[in-house]
Amino acid sequence: MDVVLGVTGKGYAMVLTDMTSNRSIFSLKHDEDKAAMVDERKVLACGGDQASRSQFTEYVSKNFALTALRTGLEMSNHAAAHFVRNELARAIRARGGPHQANSILAGVDHEGPAMYYLDYLGTMAKVDYAAQGYCGYFSLSLMDKNWKRNMTKEEGRDLLLMCIDQLRARFIINSTRYKLIVVDETGKSAEEIIEP
């Protein structure tokens, strides 16, 4: 029942995740971090099984660091998304089974902000805004209606807060805390805990 949302705007990409860890009918934690900076200007937000999610984000982060050490270059958003997609698709055919991690990769590079929707089957799409999990049923229509190109950071944050309000009003499972990460050309420019 993870909430993973993201939007892009004028020079930035923004992701929002809930901080609740649930299993069956139990709420286990309220301080779980479901988004990780995988390099200086990219964030990977994942929903799914806790073990797969944390292992996969760490694996991606370490491989990006290894690539930077080997080449002396930072991966572009496009290359990073294809790396993540390839790893998800390869895991399906591996003995251990797929990573149960539905992801949103967001970052800013020399081409500007970009966001990629990736699911555990290796499906990838470049998008301007995204939602992973059940929250998409409530959030995507708001994003369709209110997202516009070149949104300011404040407008992007307000759009994500509208999505949270909609989830609180209509979704049977309410999260109490959310984490918002904003990435721009200088790196992670903001991180905020939201407790509506």
Which helix (H) or strand (E) is 38 found in, with range? strand 35-39
Q: How many domains does the chain have?
A: 1
Q: Is 122 left (phi over 0), alpha (psi -120 to 50) or beta?
A: left
Query: What amino acid occupies position 76?
Result: S
Look up tokens 């499906």; give the residue. Answer: 123
- In this prediction, residue 95 carries a pLDDT of 80
Q: Which domain holds residue 128?
A: 4-194
CATH number where 107 lies:
3.60.20.10
- In this prediction, residue 93 carries a pLDDT of 87
DSSP 160: H
- In this prediction, residue 94 carries a pLDDT of 86
Query: Tens-digit pLDDT profile for the chain (196 aa)?
Result: 789 999 999 999 999 999 988 777 887 888 889 999 999 999 999 998 888 889 999 999 999 999 999 999 999 999 999 999 999 999 988 887 788 899 999 999 999 999 999 999 999 999 999 999 889 999 999 999 999 999 999 999 999 999 999 999 988 777 889 999 999 999 888 888 998 7
